[in-house]
Structure 1
């Protein structure tokens, strides 16, 4: 509570959400135990391989009206942006039904967009402040994000989405073909119209950024615990320790920010959350012959295309599969095919490049909202997981909300929509 003695807070997970939560909890004057079995910023983390965007306009859930008509095609087409392995269908059927229902009409989408916006609104400013404190301010870029379309008609087909952004005050600019050619001369002439989210940015190297934030936490007194959290010691609703594979860690509060590993911990804390892995892939093409300013999102591919220090990164795909299943590298090859389509002048260069392929697990709820809030089984445990495609964007606001909940302070915005209790109704 405000004004009380500092607490010992175990933050479970050192992905971007856990790191931002830890920074805000530490800023509030508490001692942080950062519990993570892997290296912060390592390849094992979803935070490592994302599309690098920090986007105030990331208000739309993945499930939109009409999606249900496309599901049979997704099951049959192994080359589309959304796929489900047949053998996993029985296990994921309940989640998929909720996912489709969440996007069944535009009224529900509008509600979801308004609930997502507070998590996205200040993302660039917040990340820039963190990066400056960590000595890696050069990693933050703010050159916008451009959605590219075959023509204005294709853009108009998404008019509801852009209207929702406009209603929330999210700035964007329409880009006609001559300006698009000027901004990105290497881009295929198949794309003749664009819409630029003016205030969006990117973190050029998310892995290096996460590692820098972890170092900042330690420099300010946080304790790194290289262990896997497996449970809690709770008596009468009060938390006394986090159980790990290296023994118990005494603490006053805990934050569950373990990404795809969060559902099991949340269950032990009293909440059943339908969390599955939307597995994503990326390819990085070194020395691609293309240098992007603003990131690109092709309307026909639904992926992020960005320049990074390592090369041109294309990140995307949704594969509903067991987190531990072997990667299907055909998903990465689909991304590489889009690189050739988008930048045909460099296609031969792409053929001979040493491509880096990566797969990671996005922790996803069916309704497009993360789980942030007090656990049902103990007021000493706070959920902070399930951010799916937008963990990088939503992490700072999540961290502020988590710190307020731990302190019992007035939250920066209404936490009700993100409560795990919504799945118990």
Structure 2
């Protein structure tokens, strides 16, 4: 009988949590190393969390993204408490010509796009004070609250036998030309495989083993309001800003 595979996942954001959950479910013995609390890094709590297969990509990538949408639905069935909301997206952040091309192309690929006028947009999002003359609505788009989703995945992975430790990775350890462990602030951890999911810190960790990870970190701006009562029904992709309302009421 084959020995159980030992896997270390560095990072406890949404990517690391998904890796840990899927590997644990497949029978691996997983250890997750979290530098911060679960989902307490940079990328996950600041994610817009839009689940979509929208415009600007060739058909093979569109198919990958629609497969990912289906996988989110599968995850919601398999993971207790996964906060997934297929709220739909209302879009008018494209030129008229680009909206026409997007609608024709993606409709031919099977994406459920509906063209709506000002009155239709008002029915979908009645609290908007500035409405477009024409917009596109995709009812099948949605969001997964990133921090809550990460915690749900990690909790279920832990229930299935994964171990989650709070520590800082100082280096990858090599034996005989392969990665054999991870050196941490709490000592050396041996393993069969290492997966790096540490966001902007991934390049630095990989560099300790002589691996060049070409990761760029361009700046972005995301603004969180204070919590409000329900104002938005779904995603709003307007000309100068994209908005959604979180489960706790922040826009």
1:308 equivalent in structure 2: 246
Note if contact 2:14-2:147 (Cα within 8 Å) is conserved in structure 1.
no
Note if contact 1:284-1:310 (Cα within 8 Å) is conserved in structure 2.
no
1:129 to 74, 77, 96: 74
Cα pair distance change 1:13/1:119, threshold 3 Å = farther
Query: Does 2:169 match 1:229?
Result: yes
Note if contact 1:56-1:122 (Cα within 8 Å) is conserved in structure 2.
no
Cα pair distance change 1:147/1:31, threshold 3 Å = same
Residue by residue, what CA displacement relative to the aligned partner does 1:351-370 show, whole Å, maximum 9, x if unpaired?
A: xxxxxxxxxxxxxxxxxxxx
Tell me, in whole angstroms, the C-alpha distance in 2 between the residues paired with 1:161 and 1:36: 40
Query: 2:152 aligns to what SS in structure 1?
Result: helix
Query: Does 2:51 match 1:54?
Result: yes
1:264 equivalent in structure 2: 204
1:285 equivalent in structure 2: 226
Written as runs of structure 1 = structure 2, the 5 A alignment for 1:130-169 is 130-137=75-82, 139-148=83-92, 154-162=95-103, 165-166=106-107, 168-169=109-110
Note if contact 1:41-1:209 (Cα within 8 Å) is conserved in structure 2.
no
Cα pair distance change 1:182/1:134, threshold 3 Å = same
2:12 equivalent in structure 1: 14
Tell me, in whole angstroms, the C-alpha distance in 2 between the residues paired with 1:180 and 1:129: 30
Q: TM-score, normalised by structure 1?
A: 0.54
- 1:259 Cα shift? 0.6
Q: TM-score, normalised by structure 2?
A: 0.87
Cα pair distance change 1:161/1:24, threshold 3 Å = same
Cα pair distance change 1:246/1:278, threshold 3 Å = same
Tell me, in whole angstroms, the C-alpha distance in 2 between the residues paired with 1:169 and 1:270: 44
Note if contact 2:181-2:190 (Cα within 8 Å) is conserved in structure 1.
yes
1:32 equivalent in structure 2: 30
Note if contact 1:9-1:33 (Cα within 8 Å) is conserved in structure 2.
yes
Written as runs of structure 1 = structure 2, the 5 A alignment for 1:282-361 is 282-288=223-229, 290-301=230-241, 303=242, 305-313=243-251
- 1:247 Cα shift? 1.4
Query: Does 2:111 match 1:170?
Result: yes
Unaligned segments of structure 2, at least 5 residues = none
1:97 equivalent in structure 2: none
Query: 2:122 aligns to what SS in structure 1?
Result: helix
Structure with the largest fraction of helix = 1
Tell me, in whole angstroms, the C-alpha distance in 2 between the residues paired with 1:4 and 1:193: 60
Cα pair distance change 1:247/1:115, threshold 3 Å = farther
Unaligned segments of structure 1, at least 5 residues = 61-109, 314-425
Cα pair distance change 1:254/1:193, threshold 3 Å = same
